Amino acid sequence: MSRLNCIIIEDEPLAVKILTDYIAEIPSLSLQATFKDAILATEYLHEHTPDLIFLDIHLPKLKGMAFLKTLTDPPAVIITTAYHQYAVEGFNLNVTDYLLKPFEFERFLVAVNKVKAAQREKAIETLESKDFIFLHVQKKKVKILFADILYIESQREYIRIVTTKNTFLSKMSTHEIEALLPPALFKRIHRSFIVSINKIDSYTAEMVELSGFSIPIGRGYRDVLEGL
């Protein structure tokens, strides 16, 4: 998963330092900015789209909950406060988690992992709602329908996408393309091969047959097709 860009909205310097230190301990988090009040953060959000906000409730000028209500399409939000009585209101506003100060790093990590899990679910839902992908092929982006893909083969720094109509070469890894494919439609069956499940004609423990092609199944992937 890519790094999550985050901001802190907090008026207590010690709380800002603790959050900054905790964020620095997690490689998948990238702190973009900190703000002492929500008004300044609002200006920032007009031009930037962070993935996550760490938000205190008792802020000067504009309180945290009031700030949340002004956001039409908010990113993930983790509330950080010393006041437990706002928890229900926070969850009604779809915050991901509610951290009561003082909180330890382990509790902070649990909250961050909730955000990551939600992001993964959202990414999968987005993939499953699409039926195509655009890939760089030579000097242009080419639209490739998922329904047309037979299999994908690693070729050093390139991948070869074999479809029912054509074959394409794109400069990326199989890991990168795998992250962009709907997991319900495609399975990696070998270190170098990803196949379309719907295109499989038959398979054994060692081989998959699809549209006249024979694709090997790697030793570590022999249970991938179980249950088909």
Q: What is the pLDDT of residues 88-101, one digit of tens each?
A: 676 777 899 999 99
Alpha-carbon distance of 222 to 219, in angstroms, equals 6
Residue 72 lies in a domain: yes
Same domain, yes or no: 25 and 119? yes
Same domain, yes or no: 145 and 212? yes
Alpha-carbon distance of 76 to 47, in angstroms, equals 17
Contact predicate 188/218, CB 8 Å: no
Reading the block at residue 12, the tokens are: 């207590």
Mean pLDDT of the chain: 90
CA distances from 186 to 85, 182, 200 (A): 46, 6, 11
Residue 197 pLDDT level (bands cut at 50, 70, 90): very high
Same domain, yes or no: 124 and 171? no
Q: What is the mean pLDDT of residues 219-224?
A: 88
**CATH assignment at residue 45:** 3.40.50.2300
Residue linked to tokens 């060692």: 206
Same domain, yes or no: 15 and 122? yes
Same domain, yes or no: 123 and 17? yes
Alpha-carbon distance of 173 to 110, in angstroms, equals 31
Q: Which domain holds residue 156?
A: 132-221
Domain boundary among 103, 128, 153: 128
**CATH assignment at residue 173:** 2.40.50.1020
Same domain, yes or no: 77 and 154? no
**pLDDT of the residue at 126:** 67
Residue 184 pLDDT level (bands cut at 50, 70, 90): confident
Alpha-carbon distance of 21 to 41, in angstroms, equals 20
Sheet holding 149-155, edge to edge: 167-170, 158-163, 149-155, 193-196, 186-190
Residue 228 lies in a domain: no
**pLDDT of the residue at 93:** 77
Which one is predicted more confidently, 3 or 32?
32
What pLDDT digit, counting tens, does each position of 57-92 carry?
989 889 988 999 998 888 999 999 887 776 667 677
Same domain, yes or no: 56 and 13? yes
Alpha-carbon distance of 132 to 147, in angstroms, equals 8
For the cut 90, the answer to whether the pLDDT of residue 190 exceeds it is: yes
How distant is the alpha carbon of residue 64 from its chain centre? 26
Q: pTM value?
A: 0.59
- When divided into structural domains, the chain yields a total of 2
Residue 228 pLDDT level (bands cut at 50, 70, 90): confident
Residue 57 lies in a domain: yes
Same domain, yes or no: 98 and 159? no
Residue 146 lies in a domain: yes
Residue 8 lies in a domain: yes
Residue linked to tokens 């409730």: 57
In degrees and rounded to multiples of 5, residue 162 shows phi and psi of -100, 120
For the cut 80, the answer to whether the pLDDT of residue 154 exceeds it is: yes
**pLDDT of the residue at 225:** 86
Domain boundary among 65, 93, 128: 128
**pLDDT of the residue at 94:** 83
